[in-house]
Structure 1
Amino acid sequence: MNAEALTPLHLPDADTLIGDMGARARAAAKRLAVAPTVAKAAALHAAARQLRAQTTAILDANARDMVAGKTAGLTAALLDRLRLDEARLGDIADAVDAVAALPDPVGAEIDRATRPNGIKLTRVRVPLGVIGIIYESRPNVTADAAALALMSGNAVILRGGSEAVHSNRAIHAALAAGLKETGLPADAVQLVPTQDRAAVGALLRAQGLIDIIIPRGGKGLVARVQDEARVPVLAHLDGINHLYIDGAADPAKALALAVNAKMRRTGICGATETILIDRAYPAPLAIVDALVAAGCEVRGDTGIAALSPHVDPASASDWDCEYLDAIVSIAMVDGLSCALAHIDAHSSRHTDAIVTEDTAAAERFLAEVDSAIVMHNASTQFADGGEFGLGAEIGIATGRLHARGPVALEGLTTYKWLVRGTGQVRP
């Protein structure tokens, strides 16, 4: 059964559909696990060429999604995530090429040892197997996830959101053409051919067929996945990121970082949502004025609100809000200890940053903030796998198990022990 060729009217029930896709993905994963690096890289380069060759078809499909999204009342942030143009599609293809050029993690030796009895132990990286990815709005995830899964030897089942249905199908068609061109199994990258929510439930119940689920989307989607999944989940709920401007911050750096961290792209999970300013910092009003001038709505505590008539009073809920919009909450704090306490109480453990020229303060911040990504004198907008030199990312993980921060090739592998003996028996 080729699920991609079926029309919605002829699709089987969700469990049968996902069961069939999972079985085919499992077979493909066995081939990918032993595929040589050169074969995987060739497939990705072919997929990137197909993305470029099919630019017109992909952008036409995206235009349909954009019209539907505007009609449905999607926010400006969601529309920005959804929108493709030639430059963005070129970046997507470039990212696929970049993944192909990365070191293959499969088979990489983590460590080795020889026991006193002569047994030799080696720990090596192996693929996870079959990955299910459930995502919303972002058509680039279709290509990024496929590329990362393929290069790390995994098969992937993609279930994109209805907002990007046409874009996802067009991108997937290009990826499938690249796989076909190079002889790797097309079932290594499958796209669920229905937007029926029952298919999501079937994915979450697919024990034995799917090894891990990775959700990328809003809090409602991620919460549902975490509540219902019977397979392991790698996820984050929010990007409630903080920028702390220390009393010893360089004002020029602080100003540039505050504006960039908040306003470069407000709809991404690495955008700063709360700025904390030390009372000892000499130029807080300049930070506020620069954000307002950039078109940002500022919500502040009493100390910040007293600085400017352009500041709205912040409510208690603002400190726990991922705006994904041109809105920021700002608070005055009494030094580094208070900033650390605020971050500990309100951070989502995604990305938090300090601006300071005080090395000791910076090192304390880096050591004590318990987030997946902690920064010194850098914009939180750098919280991205591509910016970390990973080629692309499948998401930012904020939990503690398996992987944390940008999840790329290494994060999509596990390991096994290889034991080599010469006839040893255990006494």
Structure 2
Amino acid sequence: MGLLRASKRESLMYNILNKRGESLSGDTSSKGADTKKILSITALIIGFLVLIAFGAGFLFSESGQRSTAEASELFKEVTIDPISDFFSGIFSAGAGDYFDYSTNSSSKKMGIDLSDFRVLSSQTLPAGYAMDFIYDIEYFNVPRDSTYDAEFDCYFNITQKDDHVLEIPEKIDGEIIPSSLLTIRRDSQPVCRFSSEQTTDLNGAYVVYGSFAFDYSTEDVTIPVYFISGELSDSLGDQDFFDDYGLDVSASDLRTTYNGEPMSIGIGVGGEGKEEQPVVIRSGDVISYNTIGITLRNEWNGDLQEFYDFTLSLPDGIELDDQLNGAPSPSCPFIFTGVENRYNTYKLDDSMVDLFDYYLNSGEFFGKSDYHSFQCWLYIDPEILSDKPYVVKEYKAEASYKYKVDEKYTSISLVGTDDSLIVEGI
């Protein structure tokens, strides 16, 4: 019995000690895990503070200030402008009286444009010194020796002056060297300069803008127009004229061609209440009303600033109907100027040129869309058919205008006299 009791005591003591060992082991593991958590949280806090310090240092540096200034411009480009363009396109698609064109695949852009506007030296400059900027001009599908009359401009805005915040930002215009009005060609290099007086007492990041406007023409715009008699139209019924006569003519062949100019010209023709070809000519007691429609469209991202002229040429036997059109108006703004090479020539009436310039300057010419259309009544002499089943004539148009390309910008940091100038690698 004594041996049995001793054995029970030993078993009981073993179990008690073993459980205490398990408990001690559990406490040790728990404390180790808590220590790891504390170290991880501490590391995260330190890392977060380092990021804040780094970010604050960057934002208060010259490059950080420039990046902040440029961010607002980039935000407008990638959000506001595309959204506006999208809804303008929706409006254009929904609006009527739009006369389309075909695009020349080998000439998707024609003219000159601004690809970049940049500071000539470092982007961090001391205040109180002159600074120069240059224009990178690109030439698209134009003769190498071509020249263009252009007008250049550059500026930046200041929002604080004499330690006071301005209610309205003050615009600082730069000087164009050699002159703001220039005739440029491929080797031309105008310079935008801000004088030392203009940069005195300035301190901080500034966004500098540059652009130019140039004189240009959209020329040699033509559209083939097929004419048939009323009798032939009636005999065709639902048959297609082009198929019936074995003519390999597609819809794109019956449009003007756009070669990439800043402004396109689309021409549409029709009669008997429909916008289509062939145009039906009726004679006798049956009256047919025929029209010509013209659409001017701003194809680039810049602005059409001024109309110089628009010429419409109609072949002999076809003319604008003065009685139906009435006096020149925004709907049909043309006046007859004479006959050239057997074409009746029409130009914009002077009063309409002035009116359109007003619309352009007020932003009302294109309205909510990027195009503007005219539509005029035509008189077509039935004798142009000359007893033939059909004839093909050609309408012509061209326009001259001043076009301002989309602004480019760059940012600079001006360091005041009280600050140390840190020249940064760009």
> TM-score normalized by structure 1?
0.23
Which has the higher Rg, Structure 1 or Structure 2? 2
When you count strand as a share of all residues, which structure comes out higher?
Answer: 2
